């Protein structure tokens, strides 16, 4: 495994980022990243527009970077001729350690309290615990779900309320659709759900979720898989779907079918401007709309199925 790399950085106008990214990908035979696409953004529409972006490409530290840099210089020079009104800064190159590069985002992921009793603690941190805390230790890896994003927090808060209110009839079977890091599935098990199924279309997310289950002593207590909800024959007392609004609408009939009579459906991953899109998409389903909760630009919605 290559542990040391040379990082090539190009500061370019945003509207030329795609053509520069494609050139760098072909030049280095490696992927590129764009600095303004920050960690834990739920969808591209959440990322603010930028006038300029820094595009970064990587070559092994043991290779000679001069030929790459020369070709890049010629390419940037041609762009400058074709776009005389734009400013093109010289590309830079510096060494970067692969481990430091992949873990640098962890600096901003600290222990987090959500709701009344949920304490989320990254595996590399320690936190003071209160007697009634439900502690979820997590390493999100490449999967979405640290608890830091509004969509995840809204789901956790709604879940805590539903489980707290249903003293004698708590949801026994729960489906976490789009589980990502597994954080919602773990919370559901800790809240008292007897049967928890965590599904994600990304096999890598399932690996991360299973690792996090092991970290919390929950291995074997939550079933993880990639089965599409369209193929599920099982029914649940609660379903949590933290995915994009358009996908929620597409899956509306399947989510409703998988919900037991009187069951609770929590929908999240919805930008506030798309709340009405989702409301309209679920209007024909035999569900009763309960409420919408919001944080920042995001909303989560709660439904109850007919008895």
CATH number of the domain residue 38 falls in? 3.30.70
Q: What is the pLDDT of residue 234?
A: 95
- Pair 31, 155 in one domain: no
The answer as to whether 131 is a domain residue is no
Is residue 40 within 8 A of residue 106, CB to CB? The reply is no
Closest to 196 in 3D by CA, of 208, 209, 207, 205: 209
- Pair 92, 179 in one domain: no
Is residue 156 within 8 A of residue 115, CB to CB? The reply is yes
Which residue is associated with the tokens 């773990």? Answer: 186
Is residue 304 within 8 A of residue 260, CB to CB? The reply is no
pLDDT per residue, tens digit, the chain (307 aa), is 455 788 899 999 988 888 898 899 888 887 677 765 333 444 444 444 458 888 988 888 888 999 999 999 999 999 999 998 898 899 999 987 655 545 555 555 677 888 888 888 887 778 888 888 888 888 766 455 666 688 889 999 999 999 887 655 667 899 999 998 899 999 999 999 999 999 998 888 899 899 999 999 999 999 999 999 999 999 999 999 999 899 999 999 999 999 999 999 999 999 999 999 999 999 999 999 999 999 988 999 999 998 8
pTM for the full model?
Answer: 0.67
- Supply the range of the domain harboring residue 50: 4-105
Is residue 173 within 8 A of residue 236, CB to CB? The reply is yes
The answer as to whether 53 is a domain residue is yes
CATH code for position 202? 3.40.50.150
State phi, psi for 242 to the nearest 5 degrees: -105, 75
- Pair 184, 300 in one domain: yes
- Pair 169, 83 in one domain: no
The answer as to whether 289 is a domain residue is yes
- Pair 86, 154 in one domain: no
The answer as to whether 297 is a domain residue is yes
Q: What is the pLDDT of residue 126?
A: 81
Closest to 30 in 3D by CA, of 39, 18, 22: 22
Residue 232 to residue 199: CA distance in whole angstroms: 11
Q: What is the pLDDT of residue 159?
A: 92
Number of domains in the chain: 2
- Pair 186, 267 in one domain: yes
Q: What is the pLDDT of residue 248?
A: 96
- Pair 270, 185 in one domain: yes
Closest to 53 in 3D by CA, of 93, 97, 21, 5: 21
- Pair 96, 173 in one domain: no
Query: Looking at 76, 105, 134, which one is the last position of a domain?
Result: 105
The answer as to whether 129 is a domain residue is no
């Amino acid at each position: 495994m290559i542990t040391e790399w040379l990082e090539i950085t190009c500061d370019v106008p945003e509207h030329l980022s795609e053509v520069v990214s494609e050139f760098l990908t072909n030049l280095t035979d490696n992927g590129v990243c764009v600095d303004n696409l920050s960690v834990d953004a739920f969808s591209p529409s959440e990322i603010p527009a930028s006038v300029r972006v820094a595009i970064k490409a990587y070559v092994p530290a043991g290779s000679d970077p001069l030929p790459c840099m020369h070709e890049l210089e010629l390419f940037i020079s041609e762009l400058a001729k074709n776009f005389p009104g734009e400013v093109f800064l010289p590309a830079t190159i510096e060494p970067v350690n692969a481990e430091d590069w992949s873990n640098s985002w962890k600096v901003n992921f600290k222990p987090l309290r959500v709701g009344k009793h949920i304490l989320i603690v990254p595996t590399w941190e320690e936190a003071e615990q209160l007697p009634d805390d439900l502690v979820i230790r997590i390493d999100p890896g490449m999967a979405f779900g640290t608890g830091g994003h509004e969509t995840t927090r809204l789901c956790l808060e709604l879940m805590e309320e539903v489980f707290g209110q249903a003293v004698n009839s708590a949801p026994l079977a729960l489906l976490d659709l789009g589980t990502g890091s597994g954080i919602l599935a773990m919370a559901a098990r800790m809240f008292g759900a007897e049967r928890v199924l965590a599904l994600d279309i990304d096999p890598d997310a399932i690996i991360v979720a299973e690792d996090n289950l092991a970290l919390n002593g929950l291995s074997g207590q939550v079933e993880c898989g990639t089965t599409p909800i369209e193929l599920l024959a099982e029914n649940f007392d609660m379903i949590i779907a933290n995915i994009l609004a358009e996908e929620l609408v597409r899956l509306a009939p399947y989510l409703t079918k998988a919900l037991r009579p009187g069951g609770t459906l929590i929908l999240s991953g919805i930008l506030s401007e798309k709340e009405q899109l989702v409301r309209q998409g679920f209007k024909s389903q035999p569900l009763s709309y309960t409420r919408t909760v919001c944080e920042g630009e995001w909303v989560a919605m709660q439904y109850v199925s007919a008895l």
